[in-house]
Amino acid sequence: MTLIKNISGFRGTIGGQKNDNLTPIDIVSSIAAFSRLIKENNPTSSNLTVMTGRDGRKSGELIQTLVNSVFASMGINVIDTGLSTTPTLCWGVLNNESVAGLMITASHNPEEYNGLKFFNSDGEFLSKEDVEKLIEYSESKDHNFIANESLGEVTKYTNLIDDHIEGIINLDILPLKKIKELNLFVVADAINSTGSIALPILFKKLNIRYKIINAEIEGVFNHTPEPLSENLRGLSEEITMTNADFGVAVDPDVDRLVFFDENGKILGEEYTQVFCSDFVLSVNNGDTVSTLSSSNALKDLTKSYNSDYHVTPVGEMNVVKKMKEINSVVGGEGGGGIIYPELHYGRDALVGIALFLGLLVNKKCKVSALKNDYPEYFMKKLKVSLKDNNVIDNIFKEIVNRYSDLNPNTDDGVRIDFPNGWVHMRKSNTEPIVRIFSESNDQKQADSLALKIEKEIKSLSN
């Protein structure tokens, strides 16, 4: 797969030729470029420190060793946190004196992928302007490595996950005593990555009995890692076999989260932010933020609290920017990402679980009954592969013209709101494809809308 560089980081398959895949040469040039950017952004500091971490992929340790060495060769100190989660690393950067963070992960992509996620001194994704510089610098051969006497130092710190979870436990919003009194049993799918380290620590702190499946971290994922129902049949079966109260699944770097009820039925990744936001709004009412591809369920929930709902282009950076602008109390993305700014501005499955437990304290019902309190929506998600990415913009322009009477939103691809639902089509940030999202209050209508747009895109590409 061609190496992809964008606001979500750099990502590709391991091995092959430089610039075509994620190779050691690409990693060296990328980290040297990031080091250059860090120095530019901290011109008066002579003692720069970066925090690094990795998920459970086979290539992770090798890449982290290389990453640490390049930072040190550029005169930057490194705190190596070893096996970690993306939200843990972001929280750690924010709460330490690090000027940046680097997480080695390909998120929900299969095990043959890996990637580099770059974070600023606040533990947040880089700005669009900094990403543009980073890409430019990574493609340059002009890297100024440091002389022997000025090399950076690499130190290891392996307790960051414990620290992060302690930060969650200490959040004022959580009714800790009541959560501990729920006496729940939970099954969690850790997809053979660092969730199998973090989840037990969190559950123990909250007095939750648990069973972790796919807990071994050996560089192999036992199923496709994206937390969708078709990939999580094993979790569903385990919930019913063990009479669990509910189930949770995370992705390999633990920034996405999905819940299952006591019957082994997935509640849908779109509802993660709805459940968590409902609890936050019940305690601290305010505005919410999500993306153009997210369910209208959060919009409806926010309006029920007489607050305002805001949408942004897809991407955590865009959501966070808007959250800060309006001082939002909670936000996230429909793909199972919840952002609670009182902890940090980043998607965090661990804080999401804690907020969900707060909701269960409030609702006093079985998990299967939760969705009865919210409008029911159905989604359809499709992918369209095109031979030439250059035709996508022209296809989008033609679709905008065809549906001009519906005033399409073009902030991020094209979103069209029909009388019976909406469709959003956009270029993927991580793969060379077009993603189509649709939603309606009827599954057949959602399917029909997505298939209609898929057909039009294919016909326009011929």
Q: For 201-226, how does the pLDDT look when each residue is reduced to its tens digit (9 = 90+)?
A: 999 999 999 999 999 999 999 999 98
State how many domains the chain has. Answer: 4
CA distance 214 to 234: 9
Strand partners, 332: 338
Distance of CA 281 to the CA centre of its chain: 22
| pLDDT surpassing 90 at residue 245 | yes
User: Position of tokens 């972790």?
Assistant: 212
Mean per-residue pLDDT, 417-444? 88
- 3-state class (DSSP) for residue 40: helix
Note the pTM of the prediction, 2 decimals. Answer: 0.94
Query: Do 176 and 154 fall within a single domain?
Result: no
Mean per-residue pLDDT, 371-390? 86
- Other C-beta atoms lying within 10 Å of the C-beta of residue 409: 17
Tell me the pLDDT band of 233, cut-offs 50, 70 and 90.
very high
Please state, rounded to an integer, the average pLDDT across all residues of the chain: 95
CATH number at residue 413: 3.30.310.50
8 residue type, one letter: S
Mean per-residue pLDDT, 355-379? 95
The reported pLDDT for the residue numbered 432 is 64
Mean per-residue pLDDT, 52-68? 98
Task: Work out the percent of the chain whose per-residue pLDDT is above 90.
Answer: 87
Residue with more model confidence, 237 or 390: 237
The reported pLDDT for the residue numbered 392 is 86
Query: Do 125 and 230 fall within a single domain?
Result: no
| pLDDT surpassing 90 at residue 238 | yes
The reported pLDDT for the residue numbered 142 is 82
CATH number at residue 290: 3.40.120.10
Residue 290 phi, psi (nearest 5): -150, -165
- Tokens coding 2: 């061609």
Query: Do 193 and 329 fall within a single domain?
Result: no
| pLDDT surpassing 60 at residue 1 | no
Query: Do 252 and 180 fall within a single domain?
Result: yes
DSSP state of 266: B
- Which residue is catalytic, options 35, 107, 290, 440? 107
Mean per-residue pLDDT, 394-420? 95
Query: Do 140 and 170 fall within a single domain?
Result: no
Query: Do 90 and 16 fall within a single domain?
Result: yes
Tell me the pLDDT band of 128, cut-offs 50, 70 and 90.
very high
What SS3 string covers 328-396? CCEEEECCCEEECCCCCCCCCHHHHHHHHHHHHHHHCCCHHHHHHHCCCCEEEEEEECCCCHHHHHHHH
Out of 266, 293, 324, a domain closes at 266
Query: Do 192 and 314 fall within a single domain?
Result: no
Largest Cα span, the chain: 67
Note the pLDDT tens digit of each residue in 270-299: 999 999 999 999 999 999 999 999 999 999
Query: Do 52 and 172 fall within a single domain?
Result: no
- 3-state class (DSSP) for residue 312: strand
Domain of residue 324: give its range.
Answer: 270-351+359-373
Query: Do 316 and 330 fall within a single domain?
Result: yes
The reported pLDDT for the residue numbered 385 is 87
Asked about 107 being catalytic, the answer comes back as yes
Torsion-angle region of residue 330: left (phi > 0), alpha (psi -120 to 50) or beta?
beta
What sign has the CA pseudo-torsion 386, 391, 393, 396? negative
Query: Do 320 and 367 fall within a single domain?
Result: yes
Out of 97, 124, 158, a domain closes at 158
- Tokens coding 282: 């019940």
CA distance 347 to 87: 7
Out of 94, 128, 158, a domain closes at 158
Query: Do 146 and 192 fall within a single domain?
Result: no
Query: Do 47 and 111 fall within a single domain?
Result: yes
